[in-house]
Amino acid sequence: MNNKKPIDEKTGFDLSDEFSRFDQRNEIYCRSEWDPEIQSKKATEFFDGHYMPKARARKADGFGQRDYALRNATWHVTNVLRDLRRESDDRKEGFFDTFTAHEEGWPEPYVFESEADATQNLRRAAKTMGAGMLGVCEYDERWMYSARFSEKTKESKPLDIPEDLPRVIVIGEPMDLGLTATVPSALSGSATGMGYTHDTVVLLTLTQYIRNLGYRAVASMNDSALAIPLAVQAGFGEVGRHSLLITEEYGPRLRLGKIFTDMPLVISEPKRFGVKEFCDICQRCSSACPPKAITRGAPSREAYSVSNLNGVKKWTTWAEKCFRFWAGQNSDCSICIRVCPYNRDFSKWGNRLWMKLAGTPLRRIMLQLDVWFFERNRQSSKVWWLKR
């Protein structure tokens, strides 16, 4: 495989000869199913806690029964679709396997006037379905998992996505700003749960629409491929120090989905707006991360474990430290999202102006303004419940 591609000039991705595709079996959640180094009573309780009878509801703010009740409810629709063929066919759809809940489409492809016409049509449809963001990139085998994970055998199993689908549609669903402000809490996990649910609904609906037009389309959420590099190539934004995508529309609060397709579409242009340069001078996520899982150093090729991607120069997060913290508090964490200066409401002109200036040599002043004037402390969950 050629590790370098012309698009890297635009995205800034820097792959060495050591690069190899990622096997999903090594992803930290999969490792919690087979690797004694990750398995623990707390890890089991963390996953079980997503179902009410086993939620570890307690007195601490944000970890009460109603907080878990909402968090677990926000996952419900995603879980139902995830489990349709879990027992019968070893398919954990949306997480280890692609979605298959589709009806037969139209036998012949609808003829658009041009790729631009088709893309405009797709964007219109996606907006109606509630998609927060949409971009298109070329299929790139570098970001495809080398294999899937089988929940039944705990071993790898082959990818089943046809290699002759030349384009990837990436969609992004924003996560709620107010819920994110209450992290750490079980309540804040509702932002993640609703992000997944919106993602699932838009992915399945948009994929069915493309099939109904007569094109081939395969809907994929966390399975099959690394979503962040595809999203960067599809023009969503840049990757920050916390290893998360940062966009001009929603900052770091985004859940991603992708559709592999042969629908003729215009390829989006990668977008850079100064995130790399800003993260070079900012340490807010690395300072705030309780288990110190986020590097304070410069981007490097150092991989901490099998759960990191090999041979790509980037900021790498220590997945084991991060996951153990999640398991310990019995809920996912997004403190690194809460404290990130890009975590703002960009529908407000003042925040858009801040972002513009953060991408210029005034970035140090913009960082200081965020430290001085932007409220980034944890918000009380009780207060969140009182809001109208």
Distance CA 221, CA 34 (A): 22
Of the candidates 346, 376, 283, the one whose C-alpha atom is nearest the C-alpha of residue 356 is 346
Which CB atom, from 164 or from 373, has the smaller least distance to ligand SF4?
373
- With CB under 6 A as the contact rule, the residue among 134, 169, 186, 285 that binds ligand SF4 is 285
Q: Which stretch binds ligand SF4 (CB under 6 A): 22-30, 188-196, 206-214, 275-283?
A: 275-283
Q: Binding of ligand SF4 at residue 289 (CB under 6 A)?
A: yes
Which positions from 211 to 240 touch ligand SF4 by CB under 6 A, shown as an x/- string?
Answer: -----------------------------x
Q: Which stretch binds ligand SF4 (CB under 6 A): 49-57, 92-100, 111-119, 287-295?
A: 287-295
Distance CA 37, CA 46 (A): 16
Instruction: Decide: 132 and 254 in contact? Cβ < 8 Å.
Output: yes
Indicate the residue type of 124.
Answer: R
Distance CA 52, CA 266 (A): 45
Return the residue matching tokens 């069915």. 208
Q: Binding of ligand SF4 at residue 278 (CB under 6 A)?
A: yes
Q: Which stretch binds ligand SF4 (CB under 6 A): 150-158, 169-177, 198-206, 286-294?
A: 286-294
Tokens of 127: 């907006």
Give the up-direction half-sphere exposure of residue 185: CA atoms within 13 A in the CB hemisphere: 32
Instruction: Decide: 272 and 295 in contact? Cβ < 8 Å.
Output: no
- With CB under 6 A as the contact rule, the residue among 25, 242, 258, 314 that binds ligand SF4 is 242
Tokens of 239: 């990757």
Instruction: Decide: 94 and 222 in contact? Cβ < 8 Å.
Output: yes
Q: Binding of ligand SF4 at residue 284 (CB under 6 A)?
A: yes
- Binding positions for ligand SF4, 314-353, rule CB under 6 A: 317, 322, 325, 333-336, 339-342
Instruction: Decide: 129 and 202 in contact? Cβ < 8 Å.
Output: yes
Q: Give the nearest distance from C-beta 138 to ligand SF4 in angstroms.
A: 27
| Residue whose Cβ sits closest to ligand SF4 | 240
**Three-state secondary structure call for residue 341:** coil
Which CB atom, from 132 or from 341, has the smaller least distance to ligand SF4?
341
Give the up-direction half-sphere exposure of residue 103: CA atoms within 13 A in the CB hemisphere: 8
Which CB atom, from 228 or from 322, has the smaller least distance to ligand SF4?
322
CA distances from 13 to 2, 7, 228, 344 (A): 14, 8, 12, 26
- With CB under 6 A as the contact rule, the residue among 231, 293, 309, 366 that binds ligand SF4 is 293
Which CB atom, from 26 or from 343, has the smaller least distance to ligand SF4?
343
Q: Which stretch binds ligand SF4 (CB under 6 A): 89-97, 185-193, 215-223, 277-285?
A: 277-285
- With CB under 6 A as the contact rule, the residue among 122, 279, 327, 355 that binds ligand SF4 is 279
Residue count of the chain: 388
Q: Give the nearest distance from C-beta 137 to ligand SF4 in angstroms.
A: 22
Torsions phi, psi for 72 (to 5 deg): -70, -30
Q: Give the nearest distance from C-beta 91 to ligand SF4 in angstroms.
A: 28
**Interface residues with ligand SF4 (CB under 6 A)?**
240-242, 278-279, 282, 284-285, 289-291, 293-294, 317, 322, 325, 333-336, 339-342
